[in-house]
């Protein structure tokens, strides 16, 4: 089965630093997403991205966050100035052209902000 | 998206069927019922989804009641590797079509399969 690939699997950073989380969605997919899960809590939607622009974002996705699809294959989430509360598992997901089909999730990047 | 209600935890013996219920009494006509699971802290994994007919695939069966207000996920022969958190999610396109793929996860049901 096709896979969504995320790198790195673990990222440790100092508070205030910028981090970029990388994802390679499934190659023919058109819709891309970031979710996050703080330890012990629910999986939360952050942002959806289609046709090179954000389609929807949650209230969590403030000005410190940005997404980009720089080269047609990678999909990145940037956190400009990390805070302690940004520590979480971040999941990338992608969806094909059948919009009522399944989301494919990556295995996640564990971000630890010290 | 409609809200779902699931029991917080369930147990199942290995080799037996696991039947996980979900209530979604406020589901609207164009909303699908999706089931995902999350093993340990891995990414959520799709299991099955349906609109109003019962569905079956290689992983599970989904039984949706005629009024669509509840559903049951059936794992026919549970194994130890099926121990996970199972999420029932109701989702579908809104009028603007921008909510595709935006899943609202609840706490899910922690299924423990024991030997």
pLDDT higher than threshold 70 for residue B93: no
pLDDT at A100: 67
| A3 Cα to chain B: minimum distance (Å) | 11
pLDDT at B99: 61
> Rounded to the nearest 10 degrees, how much is the dihedral formed by the CA atoms of A94, A96, A97, A98?
-110
pLDDT at B44: 95
Higher per-residue pLDDT: B67 or A28: B67
Terminus-to-terminus CA distance in chain A, angstroms?
A: 36
Closest residue by Cα to residue A20 from A62, A68, A85: A68
Higher per-residue pLDDT: B27 or B113: B113
Query: For residue A66, what is the enclosing H or E element?
Result: strand A65-68
> Could you give the CA distance from residue B27 to residue B22 in angstroms, rounded to a whole number?
12
Instruction: Specify burial of residue B35 (Cβ count, 10 A radius: 0-12, 13-18, 19+).
Output: buried
Q: Check CB contact under 8 Å for A93 and B98.
A: no
Reported as a single tens digit per residue, the pLDDT across B16-55 is: 999 999 999 999 888 889 999 999 889 999 999 999 989 9
pLDDT at B4: 93
| Mean pLDDT across B95-104 | 64
| Mean pLDDT across A51-58 | 91
pLDDT at B31: 87
In sequence order, the 6+-apart residues with CB closer than 8 A to the CB of A92 are A4, A6, A21, A23, A25, A32, A33, A34, A35, A75, A77, A105, A106
> Could you give the CA distance from residue B115 to residue A87 in angstroms, rounded to a whole number?
35
Higher per-residue pLDDT: A110 or A29: A110
Q: Which of B37, B100, B110 to mutate to test the interface with A (most CBs of A within 10 A)?
A: B100
């Amino acid at each position: 089965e096709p896979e969504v690939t995320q790198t790195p699997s673990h990222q440790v950073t100092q508070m205030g630093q910028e981090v970029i989380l990388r994802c390679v969605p499934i190659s023919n997919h058109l819709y891309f997403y970031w979710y996050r899960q703080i330890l012990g809590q629910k999986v939360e939607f952050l942002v959806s991205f289609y046709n090179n622009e954000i389609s929807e974002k949650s209230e969590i996705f403030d000005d410190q966050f940005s997404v980009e699809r720089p080269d047609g294959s990678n999909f990145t989430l940037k956190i400009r100035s990390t805070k302690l509360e940004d520590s979480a598992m971040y999941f990338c997901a992608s969806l094909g052209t059948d919009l009522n089909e399944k989301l494919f999730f990556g295995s996640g990047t564990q971000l630890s902000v010290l | 998206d409609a809200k779902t209600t699931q029991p917080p935890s369930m147990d199942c013996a290995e080799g037996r069927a696991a039947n996980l219920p979900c209530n979604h009494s406020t589901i609207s006509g164009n909303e699908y019922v999706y089931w995902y699971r999350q093993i340990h802290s891995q990414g959520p994994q799709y299991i099955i989804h349906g609109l109003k007919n019962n569905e079956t695939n290689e992983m599970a069966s989904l039984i949706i009641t005629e009024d669509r207000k509840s559903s049951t996920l059936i794992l026919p022969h549970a194994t130890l590797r099926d121990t996970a958190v199972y999420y029932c999610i109701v989702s579908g396109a809104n009028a603007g079509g921008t909510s595709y793929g935006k899943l609202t996860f609840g706490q899910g049901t922690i299924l423990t399969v024991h030997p």
